[in-house]
Structure 1
Amino acid sequence: MEINGITFENWAAASANIANGMSIEEVCQILRIEIPVWEDTNTQWGEKLADLMTSDMNMAMKYGEIFQNPKVGKFANVGETVSMDDVLKKVPDYDTFMKITMHQSKATKVGLDAGTIIAEYGLTLQQWGQVGMHYSSWVKDKIHEENATPEEMEMFNDSDKKWAAHFEDFYKEQEANLGEDIDF
């Protein structure tokens, strides 16, 4: 299946590479299309993926796999690949993962860009996605498959609470009240 001559695999790889910092111009050059064709293709594939996922969750899994490793199709030999081991050096444990997660969450509530926060930790959006999948699987394994101990459950909860409180305090002076000038 193709949209504007672009396969699902190439669209997913292009999307992942854009999230990883590749310019749309470079993506279009690799796909040998013009920017308006990319924009239309991207919109259509995004809508198609939503439809496909309602009937077959394997498409979401495939998209996630390509997003984690976009070295497929026309992007197979493009750019450098950062290994998961290298990414995990930046986010070596669950506590660090929660620190970044809560930083991003609280920062967006005061109008800051989540991607900028992620970049402050030396991560691309693609790498952050990889880290998120890694720790989601790790937590699932710990809690559901290994029957986490009370101490481990406390560690999960304490980390969440600690970083939420830290960044709540950090951004307390920057809270946005978009309706403060509206009288009812």
Structure 2
Amino acid sequence: MKHDTNNPLLQPIHGVSLEDYAAAASNMANGMSDEQVCKKLGIELPVWDEANQLWIKRMQQDTSFVVMSLYGQYFGQAHLHPKLGKQTNHQSNEDYLTRISTDEKFYYELCGARQAAYEAGLDGAKWIEDNYGISLGDFQSVAMKWMGNMINMLPYQQQKQKEYAKKFAEENGGNIADDIEF
């Protein structure tokens, strides 16, 4: 996304750029602590805390939505960040993460599986992490890439959701509400 580098809303806060902030948020969604972020960025915790609060305020003040748009872009590309990219704490199944980033149908299949898991009384995000090694934070980062085509992929996602619902029902001896009579 092209943007005006002189835009005051995009200037770093205490040395923390919007790209740093978004990459930090992505890593924190994947289990990295504030302290680890500070160490990677070379800043103290009080500096991070204030920068965090001020970036949120800037997003709220930005009527052009440039800050939020760039934040989304940077969040989705956190793995490319020079200091915060490619963290070892969530790289166990890199092939699946790469696949959902490059294979739109696989991404929407997992969306359907996640929803079916929730409807079966399971934690859908945990099911994906347990079976594919993809954390919720990584999954949501990829979602930014594919959300523009959601309307076209919804029938496919719903088809996969039905398939997984049947699978979960078979594994669990029926659906969660099968024993409820009205």
Per the normalisation by structure 2, the TM-score is: 0.61
- For residues 115 and 40 of structure 1, the distance between their equivalents in structure 2, rounded to whole angstroms, comes to 31
List per-residue Cα deviations over 1:11-64 (Å, max 9, x = no partner).
Answer: 112112222333322210122222233223212212321322xx1223222111
Percent identity between the two aligned chains: 25
- The residue type paired with residue 52 of structure 2 is N
Name the structure 2 match of 1:123. Answer: 134
Matching residue of 1:69: 77
Question: How many pairs were matched up?
Answer: 155
Which whole-Å CA distance do the structure 1 matches of 2:41 and 2:83 have between them?
Answer: 13
Give runs of aligned pairs for residues 148-159 of structure 1, distance below 5 A: 153=155, 155-159=156-160
Aligned 8 A contact 1:102 1:163 in 2: yes
SS in 1 for 2:86: coil
Aligned to 2:113: 99
Deviations 1:60-81 (A, max 9, x none): 2211111111256xx4154427
CA contact (8 A) 2:26 2:141 kept: no
Match of 2:24 in 1: 14
Match of 1:172 in 2: 176
Distance 2:46 2:166 in 1: 44
5+ residue gaps, structure 2, are 1-10, 88-93, 178-182
Q: Which amino acid aligns with 1:76?
A: P
Q: TM-score, normalised by structure 1?
A: 0.60
Shift of 1:127: 1.9
The alpha carbon displacement at 1:124 in A equals 2.1
Distance in 2 between residues matched to 1:165 and 1:60, nearest whole Å: 39
Unaligned runs of 5+ in 1: 144-151, 174-184
Given candidates 1, 14, 38, the residue that maps to 1:4 is: 14
